Structure 1
Amino acid sequence: MDVAVYGFVTGAVADALAARNGPGPGRRHAARHPGRHADARPLPQQDGHGR
């Protein structure tokens, strides 16, 4: 019983933390350069971090 409660609470906290800041750097990069491209470069550091 305790393991189920621990799992539920851990999942709820993880979901809340993941949803609080909008899209992460990977989704922002994908929106900027949609599709699969071998020459896609990483985002500049100032565009990659939401904090």
Structure 2
Amino acid sequence: MDVLHKAVHAFASGAIADALAARGGPGPGQRHAAIRPGCHADVAPLPRRDAYGR
């Protein structure tokens, strides 16, 4: 019974997380990565005002 409960909980949590992640568009990390693809030490983080678009 406990295993069934945990399986249902995991499925529901995953479905909710996927739904929330899919509705917001690109996040701050994705916008930062779009500045210049690859790993570069000279690309600074996005300014806080641009990190969370609204």
TM-score, L = length of structure 2:
0.81
Pairing 1:16–2:19 present: yes
Note the alpha carbon deviations across 1:3-50, whole angstroms, 9 max, x for none: 111110000001111111111000001111222111110111121113
5+ residue gaps, structure 2: none
Question: RCO (CA 8 Å, sep 6+): is it higher in 1 or 2?
Answer: 1
Q: Percent identity?
A: 63
Distance in 2, matches of 1:50 and 1:12, equals 24
Residue identity in the other structure for 2:50: D
Residue identity in the other structure for 2:31: R
5+ residue gaps, structure 1: none
TM-score, L = length of structure 1:
0.85
